[in-house]
Amino acid sequence: MICIDERAVGSSRPRDGVLHALKRHARWGWLAALCFGLSPQLEATSPRQLVEVADLAGPVVSPDGRRVAFRLEQASIERNAYDTFWYVQGVEGAAPPTRVADSGIPLRDAAGVSLPATAVWSPDGHWIYYRARVDDRIGVWRAAVDGAGAELITRDPADVRDFSLSTDGRTLMYSVGATREQVLEAEQNEYEQGIRIDAGVPIGQGLFRSSNIDGRWATQRYLGMWFGRRSLLEETPDRWKAIDLSTREVRDLDSTYRPPGRLAESDLAEGLEKPFKMALEPKGERIALLTRVGEAGAFRDKPDIALSVLPTKASRTPVVCQAGPCTGQAIGAIQWRPGREEVLFTVTDPRQGLAQSIYRWDIPAQRVYPVVSMRGLASGGRDPSSSCGASLEILVCVVAHADRPPSLERIDLDTGARRLLFDPNAALASGIAAVVSARLLRWRDASGQEFNGQLFTARSGRDAASPLFVTYYSCPGFLRGGVGDEWPLISLAEHGIAALCINNPPGYLSEATARYGRAVSAVESVVALLAAEGEVDPAFVGMGGLSYGSEVTLWTAIHSDILAAASITSPSIEPNYYLFNGLRDDAFFAELRKSWGLGSVEETPERWRKIAPALQTERIQAPVLLQMPEQEYLSALGFAIPLMREQRADLYVFPHEPHQKFQPKHKLAAYERNLDWFRFWLQGYDNPDPGKRQQYSNWRSMKTAMPAGRNRAEPGAGGPGR
């Protein structure tokens, strides 16, 4: 539920009668308290508040530079759904934003992550155009920027895949594939005739309408080498159409049509190093490129990034930026500054906890100027590589820090001056700031390897050492629960458990044991550091992670005795995983060999015994909580079931969830159970909620069954938190 002052929504009205309740309160502080459940006292940040953070994305500045459009997305626990809206606001920030349109059901990638929001301004600045799923169809909509209303432009029998607007704003071009009726018919035919299992079918997962693809439950097939998903008939080639916006007449475009301004690697001259990101100059021919350079050595990818510009598509000699901020830096986002011969680029500094800085490269002068430096993200949303909205004079960015939820800011390109435009999470930010804060922690292990992470100090109300929770992977922006949002870091800290999110150092090590060993060294060395400083109790350390973070957590549980409890949500490499992917193509198995040194179990048995947790369960001494998506849990049963039989693991499976859970009720349940789990094992705390009686009965049985010497049932000096 979105809670905003009436003036911030123009002629729109928040849902569920919220506005009527808010009108009774005159001051924003009380409005915020109602919206987010905070009282004037210092209350702990609840997992629910972390689930219901308002995310901002896709800022794009109007052609005249006077307004910005952006999308807001927020979970509703009650409806187990998301509210998404488009807003428009003046870049001077003199007035609150106006809600101009409902953005429909969020479209997600195969991992469950919300796809980037994209809006296109009409040349006259009167409309924004956007793609949305509304009423079971994906179409192109346009909304009047004054809040007067929104309308569906395309009424095609197929879902719209992509669109663009002509330079004069009179014609909309859009692409489609198979019709919705054809897709449904193909799914039903498979259901009735039986589904033939081949390399494209995700074995061990639901076979009929089991995956959320483009906002609907669809029959799924693999897309790409790893675990992308597509629906049936998605391989149907794009068909481009054009609609006259004055007459609404639709015509088919030539089969070779491609929207102007779109680039592909094949557009570039042969012999050039292939870039991983490109940006075409608006109304020009130059192309800004980001390319990986250097010698990979022990790493999978080349270590450095080069920023350069090609004069034209046919050019073979790029102009390379040689200034200090361009070299040896983790550049992730690039865009052209409108009206200037400048490229704007964003550096995400791995040595500073993924803090971002934005620069502008003056190409003719070959000089680079700093624009702004943050202690967190300044991007186009949660994705650190997304771009801010840009005009000749300003950037409009989504700003978020480890302990500060997202807000929208205007940044002057010449002076770096910042101005807050919109802060839908102000109350939550205030509540967090009053209780806990994050600090960037940097340290080295015994070999000299540098690590860093964001540490939330435990709120214990005493000077004693506290328990510690660690998650390992990547920690950009506002930290609700690490990668995948599973572990409520702020809530843990506010309940007396210090919470640390560790960033994996730059470079993906090709050798798996070295890759995992580096992570274990990070955990062991930081625990030693914090214990020596008297901040944490090394006897009560918990750990959790998603995807690579799950792999690292299990590897730590196997190869170190530092963990008192663990929590994972993703499978690791094990024989079941290999079996379920046994029909995949050669590229899949080549990557298994390259990144893990694994052939079949019969071919490389010793390597399997070294890598797979399922073949080393006797070495896992810490109790393990598994909260897994339905799409993946079968691949984890090789190690989960032996642990469960010995009462050393507790498994929960969330229906209809992909790699990262996205349903609000599921995210809340995972947060709350993780909070309960680590308070139980690290603090000896039982939640008195009668509805959780069976949960704690199960865990007490596990505690009784734990091997001698590993039962850390009684908390150390830290004691129970709040």
The confidence score (pLDDT) of residue 3 equals: 43
Cα–Cα dist 533/186, whole Å: 63
Among residues 56, 58, 55, 61, the alpha carbon closest in space to that of 395 is found at: 61
Spatial contact of 520 and 552, defined as CB atoms under 8 Å apart: yes
Cα–Cα dist 673/386, whole Å: 32
3-state SS class at 96: coil
In the DSSP assignment, the letter for residue 281 is P
Spatial contact of 649 and 633, defined as CB atoms under 8 Å apart: no
What's the fold here for domain 436-574+612-705?
A: Rossmann fold (3.40.50)
Q: Which residues pair with 418 in a beta bridge?
A: 411
In the structure encoding, which two tokens stand for residue 62, read together? 């109007």
In the structure encoding, which two tokens stand for residue 366, read together? 């070959």
3-state SS class at 581: coil
Position 495: which residue type? H
Length of the chain equals: 722
The confidence score (pLDDT) of residue 461 equals: 58
Cα–Cα dist 238/246, whole Å: 25
The confidence score (pLDDT) of residue 240 equals: 97
In the DSSP assignment, the letter for residue 108 is B
Q: What is the largest CA-CA distance in the chain?
A: 79
Cα–Cα dist 82/85, whole Å: 10
Q: For the segment 540-583, what is each residue's pLDDT rounded down to a tens digit?
A: 999 999 999 999 999 999 999 999 999 999 999 999 989 999 99
HSE at residue 372, side-chain half, CA atoms within 13 A, is 25
Q: Which residues pair with 410 in a beta bridge?
A: 396, 419
Write the CB contacts of 129 (distance below 8 Å, at least 6 apart in sequence). 119, 120, 121, 122, 140, 141, 142, 153, 163, 165, 172
Residues of the chain with pLDDT under 50: 1-41, 713, 716-722
Which contiguous run of DSSP H or E holds residue 32?
helix 28-36
Q: What is the residue extent of each domain of the chain?
A: 436-574+612-705
Cα–Cα dist 129/144, whole Å: 9
